[in-house]
A and B are shown apart, each in its own frame.
Chain A
Amino acid sequence: MTHTLHRIEVKTDLKADFIFLCTPANGINSRGATPKLLRILEILQDVGPVNMGFYGSREERISMESMKERLHDNSRLRCLFDSRSKMTEVLRRIKDEDAGLSIAVTGSLPEVLAVAREAGLTPHTANLSLGVFGKTELLPPDEIMEVTTMCGHGMISFNLVRETFEFVRKGLMTVEEAMVKLDQPCTCGIVNSGRIREILEQLIRDSGTSFDGGETDGRQDIPSGDFN
Chain B
Amino acid sequence: MVDQTITAGKPKPGSRLRAWGLLVIGFSCVWVFAFIVGPWIQDKIPTFRKIVQVIEERDIDAGAYFYSENKESYDGERYLLESLRLGAPEEVGFTLPFIGSIVLCLIILGLGYRYLPMD
- Are A and B part of the same complex? no
Q: Tell me the A residues contacting B by CB distance below 8 Å.
A: none
